[in-house]
Chain A
């Protein structure tokens, strides 16, 4: 074990549940390496956006990034599978699929792109907020100006529901919602809370339309210079971090939801029937993007889900 300083880039701020995960992982790495391996975390995109940081990993100029899968679709198209709408129904399904064979299958593709995935953490289920009406059925989205990430699957998901999907940088979303340049945005509860979107949005609809995992990525060129012992420490500790991160994420998600209600947001759940209607309506998106994601990947995850749901 050598002295290592590992720079960990995070697009989110330190108060995000990823902070808890990084803390647990850092502690674990320090313990196991006798203080020789050091993790230095950078928050709020201080070392560049997630995509830029990931490119830095691929070229070996930076060690680690913890990023959601969505921005990386341009690098590894198969990751688009996690953007498909209404994929996982709940956290249990997500954990089983990601920590199971399918998750490993996806991780195994990444070394081709110069990346090593140490573990799946989570950003959680995404939900819709808007300033106009409680969204109870997909028709309510008709004509609504929704900010989405710049990602074709998200764009199509919302266009398909009749919304006016507008890609926009995250930093401008608050002001755009405030000035009513856009009506709606979609994010996990925690983000809605920490970004104070409740100040400028009235309605929160628990659509759970997407579950974005985070990946704990390591630079392959740098990884290859590490000893097997060092690699094992990092892999094991990423999993220790994962458990802490998911726990924190789920607890905080509950807390955030309560806080959003308290702040006066009108929260509505979708009826199971409507959930199914939306899922069916979204099938077009599956078909349209199966080609770019890889038909076998889409089939594989659907099989994995069927397996999980059987038990």
Chain B
């Protein structure tokens, strides 16, 4: 099971890199076309934006798993272990609520976006907005699993330390 999950996330990482490379190629390609050939592809502006949305919201799940999202741990850092565990469960419940609302909202919004097309590519916007299912679902499941582990006492000390801000992620530093 764990092996399958790890492999899935490695695949998602490949996807992220692919999206970023495509964005570079499309936007840079347009600059070259404009100066080299006095023309441009209007599709690439729109499509690169959509790739960007996918990159953001797929990456949000991958980085969530690594606890790379920015947060303030000054206070929880000085809590005793029990306090840290309780804070972690509470904060995970908040995250879960956010995911439920995000997922549900994407669901209710689906017909509205499915009947609306992008101005240039003509792509239905549900392709773009539908990514909310993946992000809310993915983060929600990770959080749910973590809450269950915490409640059944199977959470590792490393996870609690990471939650309390000991050992920050490299990505997190780059984000500033």
Contacts and interface: CB of A to CB of B under 8 A. Distances in A.
B115 interface: yes
Given A164-B38, A167-B42, A167-B45, A59 B117 contact: no
Contacts of A150: 42, 45-46, 119-120
B176 to A, nearest CB: 26
Nearest to A70: B119
Contacts of A74: 116-119, 125
A58 B119 contact: no
B108 A55 contact: no
Nearest to A57: B112
Contact of B120 (A55, A75, A152): A152
Contacts of A58: 112
A59 B114 CA distance: 13
B109 interface: yes
Contacts of B109: 59
A75 B38 contact: no
Nearest to A145: B34
Interface string B123-146: 001000000000000000000000
Contacts of B116: 55, 74-75
A155 B120 CA distance: 10
A192 B118 CA distance: 28
Contacts, number: 31
Contacts of B118: 74
A274 to B, nearest CB: 26
Contacts of A151: 119
A61 to B, nearest CB: 9
Interface in B1-49: 38, 40, 42, 45-46
Given A151-B119, A152-B119, A59 B112 contact: yes
A70 B3 CA distance: 51
A152 B119 CA distance: 7
Contact of A55 (B40, B112, B119): B112
A59 B108 contact: yes
Given A73-B119, A74-B119, A114 B112 contact: yes
A303 B124 CA distance: 32
B66 to A, nearest CB: 31
A167 B121 CA distance: 14
Interface in A122-156: 143, 150-152, 155
Interface string A237-280: 00000000000000000000000000000000000000000000
Contacts of A75: 115-116
Interface in B75-120: 108-109, 112-113, 115-120
A226 interface: no
Identify the 9 closest CB pairs spanning chains A and B, nearest first: A58-B112, A74-B117, A75-B116, A74-B116, A150-B119, A74-B119, A59-B112, A59-B109, A151-B119
15 contacts: A55-B116, A59-B108, A59-B109, A59-B112, A74-B118, A74-B119, A74-B125, A75-B115, A143-B38, A150-B46, A152-B119, A152-B120, A155-B42, A166-B40, A167-B42
Given A74-B117, A150-B119, 9 more contacts: A59-B109, A74-B118, A75-B116, A113-B115, A150-B45, A150-B46, A150-B120, A152-B119, A164-B38
